[in-house]
């Protein structure tokens, strides 16, 4: 799993079991930081020419395959298959476009293991958003929670409504907080210390809260294209300090998360992703939210998404639905992903 925040590649070795219900265990997991070459490459690829993208698709697949091979050799694991999300380069479902870098054939060639990849494109071809895909895992593996909230590069949420699972991206989070922290010489805002030192700018807060995306009903999803076109210009047009921007953003995120989860049931929200470690962000989410915010063990915070993509691979191998039309807006549920093996 590789997300928009470019923290690194998450690798999780997982075991799944089904009796009456599904259960899981993350046996070993780690995040492998990107070398500078891949950080720069992944940032630049959306603006590259088609030949460069095709070449990088194969190179990145070999890179992932080698990482997995090293991981399983060092830990003496014998996995049955690899499920790879890849790294999103383009995601414009309204144009029927989504592309995750990391060629499955190259992963297979380097690792020697069967590979399931390209989980999103079939749903997009069926008229769906191709995102989010994690909600089927939320439903089947974390059904005891009323909501599952992920605070990654973008935040997303899933929950049952009228007997159906729905889910959607809420707003950007770490992708923009990390960018602003970088302007101050930090990789990220540890515990939200930078943001907490700033002041809320009401004009910027109002502009952010009035973005058209927040008025749309699900299914809906966010991507870097929207961030560059709609969101970042509002920050660039503001003359306030970087820490005041960060403080205003945290307030904005907390408000939008509350708007998406204050449905009147007063339930429990399982909260994962890197933003779950941001103490100040969590405190502001709690301030606006009617529900109880549950922060699980670090293993779940860090590796829930990687684990669920492994689970999507299990469902693919069993020829069971792993992509819900109630979430994505596609014409029907589907079994997403392509399988590459001998």
- 14-73 residue pLDDT tens: 999 999 999 999 999 999 999 999 999 999 999 999 999 999 999 999 999 999 999 999
- N- to C-terminal Cα distance for the chain? 23
The pLDDT score that the predictor gives to residue 296 is 97
Q: At what angle do helices 279-288 and 242-261 cross, to 10 degrees?
A: 40
Q: Burial letters for 5-37: b for 16+ Cβ neighbours within 10 Å, e otherwise?
A: bbbbbbbbbbebeeeeebebebeebbbbebeee
| 225, 238: one domain | yes
Within a domain: 152:
yes
| 219, 177: one domain | yes
Within a domain: 175:
yes
| 57, 111: one domain | yes
| 164, 283: one domain | yes
How many domains does the chain fold into?
A: 2
Within a domain: 290:
yes
Band of residue 264 on the pLDDT scale cut at 50, 70, 90 = confident
- 36-45 residue pLDDT tens: 999 999 999 9
Band of residue 3 on the pLDDT scale cut at 50, 70, 90 = confident
| 210, 181: one domain | yes
Q: What angle do CA 327, 339, 320 make, to 5 degrees?
A: 45
- 154-205 residue pLDDT tens: 999 999 999 999 999 999 999 999 999 999 999 899 999 999 999 999 999 9
Within a domain: 85:
yes
| 127, 194: one domain | no
Band of residue 7 on the pLDDT scale cut at 50, 70, 90 = confident
| 119, 211: one domain | no
Within a domain: 4:
no
- 297-340 residue pLDDT tens: 999 999 999 999 999 999 999 999 999 999 999 999 999 999 99
Within a domain: 3:
no
Please answer whether residues 336 and 120 qualify as being in contact, where contact means their C-beta atoms are separated by less than 8 angstroms.
yes
The pLDDT score that the predictor gives to residue 16 is 98
Within a domain: 200:
yes
Residue range of the domain that includes 236: 135-299
Instruction: Indicate whether 4 pLDDT > 80.
Output: no
| 312, 276: one domain | no
Q: Which CATH number goes with the domain that contains 77? A: 3.30.420.40
Q: Encode the chain in three state secondary structure.
A: CECCCCCCEEEEEEEEEECCCEEEEEEEEEEECCCHHHHHHHHHHHHCCHHHHHHHHHHHHHHHHHHHHHHHHHHCCCCCCEECCCEEEEEEHHHCEEEEECCHHHHHHHHCCCEEECCCHHHHHCCCCCCCCCHHHHHHHCCCCCEEEEECCEEEEEEEECCEEEEEEEEECHHHHHHHHHHCCCCCCHHHHHHHCCCCCHHHHHHHHCCHHHHCCCCCCCCHHHHHHHHHHHHHCCCCCHHHHHHHHHHHHHHHHHHHHCCCCCCEEEEECHHHHCHHHHHHHHHHCCCEEECCCHHHHHHHHHHHHHHHHHHHHCCCCCECHHHHCCCCCECCCEEECC
Enter the tokens of residue 228. 């560059």
Within a domain: 1:
no
| 97, 183: one domain | no
| 186, 262: one domain | yes
Enter the tokens of residue 112. 């020697």
Band of residue 265 on the pLDDT scale cut at 50, 70, 90 = confident
Band of residue 88 on the pLDDT scale cut at 50, 70, 90 = very high
| 292, 334: one domain | no
Instruction: Indicate whether 282 pLDDT > 90.
Output: yes
| 222, 74: one domain | no
């Amino acid at each position: 799993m590789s997300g928009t925040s470019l923290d690194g590649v998450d690798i999780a070795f997982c075991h799944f079991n089904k009796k009456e219900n599904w259960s899981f265990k993350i046996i070993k997991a780690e995040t492998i930081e990107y070398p500078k070459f891949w950080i720069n490459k992944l940032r630049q690829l959306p603006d590259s020419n088609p030949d460069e993208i095709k070449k990088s698709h194969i190179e990145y697949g070999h890179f992932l395959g080698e990482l997995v091979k090293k991981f399983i050799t060092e830990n003496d694991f014998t996995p049955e298959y690899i499920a790879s999300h890849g790294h999103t380069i383009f995601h414009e479902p309204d144009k029927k476009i989504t592309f995750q870098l990391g060629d499955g054939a190259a992963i297979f060639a380097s690792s020697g293991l069967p590979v399931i990849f390209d989980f999103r494109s079939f749903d997009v071809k069926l008229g769906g958003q191709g995102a989010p895909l994690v909600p089927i895992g939320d439903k089947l593996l974390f059904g005891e929670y009323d909501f599952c909230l992920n605070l990654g590069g973008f935040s997303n949420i899933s929950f049952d409504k009228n007997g159906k699972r729905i889910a959607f991206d809420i707003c950007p989070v770490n992708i923009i907080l990390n960018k602003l922290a970088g302007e101050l010489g930090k990789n990220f805002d540890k515990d939200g210390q930078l943001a907490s030192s700033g002041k809320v700018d009401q004009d910027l807060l109002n502009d952010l809260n009035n973005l058209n995306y927040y008025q749309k009903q699900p299914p809906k999803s966010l991507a870097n294209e929207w961030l560059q076109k709609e969101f970042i210009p509002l920050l660039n047009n503001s003359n306030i300090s970087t820490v005041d921007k960060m403080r205003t953003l945290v307030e904005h995120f907390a408000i939008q998360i509350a708007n998406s989860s204050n449905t009147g049931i007063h339930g429990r929200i399982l909260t994962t992703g890197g933003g779950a470690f941001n103490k100040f962000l969590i405190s502001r989410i709690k301030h606006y939210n009617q529900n109880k915010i549950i922060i699980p063990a670090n293993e779940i915070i860090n590796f829930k998404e990687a684990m669920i993509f492994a689970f999507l691979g299990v469902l693919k191998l069993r020829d069971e639905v792993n992509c819900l039309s109630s979430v994505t807006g596609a014409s029907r549920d589907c079994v997403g992903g392509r399988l590459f093996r001998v």
